[in-house]
Amino acid sequence: MQILDVNDLMQLARRRVPKMFFDYADSGAFSESTYHANEAAFGAIKLRQRVGRKISNRSLASTMVGQKVAMPVALAPVGILGMQHANGEILAARAAESFGVPFTLSTMSVCSIEEVARATSTPFWFQLYVMRDRGFVRSLIDRAKAAGCSALVVTMDLQIVGQRHKDQRNGLSTPPRLNLPTLLQLLVRPRWCLQMLGVRDRRLGNLVGHTESAKDLTSMSAWVADQFDLEFCWDDIAWLRERWGGTLILKGIMTAEDAREATLTGADAIVVSNHGGRQLDGAPSTLSVLPGIVDAVGDQLEVHVDGGIRSGQDVFRALALGAKGTYIGRPYVYGLGAMGEAGVRRALEIIATELDVTMALCAERTIAAIGPHNLEMTASVEG
Ligand SMILES: Cc1cc2nc3c(=O)[nH]c(=O)nc-3n(C[C@H](O)[C@H](O)[C@H](O)COP(=O)(O)O)c2cc1C
Going from N- to C-terminal start, the domains of the chain cover 6-374
Closest ligand 1 atom to residue 26 Cα is 31
Binding residue per annotation — 310? Answer: yes
Contact 58, 365 (CB under 8 A): yes
Give the pairing of strands 62-64 and 67-69.
antiparallel
At 154, phi and psi to the nearest 5?
Answer: -95, 120
253 conformational bin, left if phi > 0, alpha if psi -120 to 50, beta if neither: beta
Tell the residue nearest (CA) to atom 8 of ligand 1.
Answer: 79
Binding residue per annotation — 24? Answer: yes
Superfamily of domain 6-374: Aldolase class I (3.20.20.70)
pLDDT classification of 378: cutoffs 50, 70, 90: low
Which is catalytic among the residues 36, 85, 165, 275?
A: 275
275 is catalytic: yes
Query: Is the preceding omega at residue 102 within 30 degrees of 0, hence cis?
Result: no
pLDDT the model gives residue 246: 98
Q: How far is CA 157 from CA 52, 114, 254, in A?
A: 46, 26, 9
Dist. CA 363 → ligand 1 center (Å): 33
> Given a cut of 60, is residue 28 above it in pLDDT?
yes
At 253, phi and psi to the nearest 5?
Answer: -90, 130
Segment 142-176, tens digit of pLDDT? 999 999 999 999 999 999 999 999 988 888 876 77
- The answer for residues whose C-beta is within 8 angstroms of residue 151's C-beta and 6 or more apart is 65, 67, 102, 104, 125, 126, 246, 247, 248, 249, 268
CA distance 106 to 95: 16
Tell the residue nearest (CA) to atom 29 of ligand 1.
Answer: 78
pLDDT the model gives residue 168: 86
**Number of alpha carbons in the 13 Å side-chain half-sphere of residue 271:** 31
Of 157, 232, 275, 328, best ligand 1 pocket probe by most atoms within 8 Å of the beta carbon:
275
Q: Map residue 268 onto helix, strand or coil.
A: coil
Closest ligand 1 atom to residue 77 Cα is 17
Mean pLDDT (whole number) for 79-103: 97
> If you ran DSSP here, which 8-state letter would residue 80 be given?
T
Closest ligand 1 atom to residue 155 Cα is 11
Binding residue per annotation — 307? Answer: yes
Closest ligand 1 atom to residue 35 Cα is 26
pLDDT the model gives residue 216: 65
Binding residue per annotation — 221? Answer: no
Binding residue per annotation — 278? Answer: yes
Query: pTM here?
Result: 0.97
pLDDT the model gives residue 17: 98
Tell the residue nearest (CA) to atom 31 of ligand 1.
Answer: 25
Contact 151, 248 (CB under 8 A): yes
Beta bridge partners of 197: none
Average pLDDT, the chain: 95
- Please name the residue ranges forming H helices in the chain: 6-16, 19-25, 33-43, 88-99, 113-119, 134-146, 165-170, 180-187, 190-197, 217-227, 236-244, 256-263, 286-297, 312-320, 330-361
Closest ligand 1 atom to residue 24 Cα is 1
> If you ran DSSP here, which 8-state letter would residue 34 be given?
H
pLDDT classification of 220: cutoffs 50, 70, 90: confident
Q: Map residue 197 onto helix, strand or coil.
A: helix
Tell the residue nearest (CA) to atom 28 of ligand 1.
Answer: 78
Binding residue per annotation — 162? Answer: no
Dist. CA 25 → ligand 1 center (Å): 8
CA distance 199 to 111: 10
> Ligand 1: residues within 6 Å at CB?
24-25, 38, 76-79, 106, 108, 127, 155, 251, 273, 275-276, 278, 306-309, 328-330, 333
Segment 121-138, tens digit of pLDDT? 999 999 999 999 999 999
Say which residue, 84 or 177, is predicted with more confidence.
84
Dist. CA 275 → ligand 1 center (Å): 5
Give the pairing of strands 73-75 and 104-105.
unpaired
Q: Map residue 67 onto helix, strand or coil.
A: strand
At 15, phi and psi to the nearest 5?
Answer: -85, -20
CA distance 143 to 135: 12
- Please name the residue ranges forming H helices in 17-99: 19-25, 33-43, 88-99
Nearest Cα to Cα of residue 73 among 103, 47, 37: 103
